Amino acid sequence: MLFLLAAVAAASSLVADDLTISAVTIAFRGRQLTAEAKLLPFLSPETSQRLASGLPTTTLWEIRLFAARAFWPDGLKDERRYEVTATYRPVNSDWTLQKRLDGKLLETVTVPTVGEAAEALSRLPAFPVFTMGNHLLGKQLVVKVRCIHGSGISLGVIPTSMDTGWTRSRIFVWSGERP
């Protein structure tokens, strides 16, 4: 029984060994913290095949802000979910990209090629993800990012997701509004 529980736990989230996230780049625009990252080497073969076949294809980026701690686990301060769905439109022979933040539609754009759709799926663009408040002044903080880029079934019945694992930004200290 213990072996079965360990197998289920291991299968619940598959980490793709071939995909990683480039360094997480953070910047400030006033009180807004932006984060940027890319999948390397690009998309997984399964995700690329799904996209090329014309099926709606989604990547989900999880972005979390933590208080960086030396001797115990980092303390979660806030989290966001950025999602991009690419859908082929056969009548126009182009791709529609729907971009969402925390489930709310940010924008819908159309791109002419599958390559541009794949680029949008494999990139977390630099946009404001967190608003820095006074409660974060003087604290050591870190941003962690991961990308969920596929799903499947393990052992015939257990739903699984393929993700990159977490990648950390540099540790920084919020010292108030910056120009």
Does the pLDDT of residue 18 top 60, yes or no?
Answer: yes
Question: In this predicted model, which residue has the larger pLDDT, 78 or 54?
Answer: 78
CA distance 41 to 27: 24
Residue 39: C-alpha distances to residues 93, 94, 163 (Å): 26, 23, 11
Higher pLDDT, 95 or 74: 95
More confident residue, 97 or 177: 97
Calculate mean pLDDT across residues 156-162: 58
Each residue's pLDDT tens digit, 101-140: 999 999 999 999 999 999 999 999 998 999 998 888 888 8
Contact 167, 144 (CB under 8 A): yes
- pLDDT of 41 strictly over 50: yes
Query: Is the model's pTM score more than 0.75?
Result: yes
pLDDT tens for 43-56 read: 878 888 888 888 88
| CB neighbour burial string for 39-53, b if at least 16 within 10 angstroms, e if fewer | beebbbeebbebbee
pLDDT at 128: 92
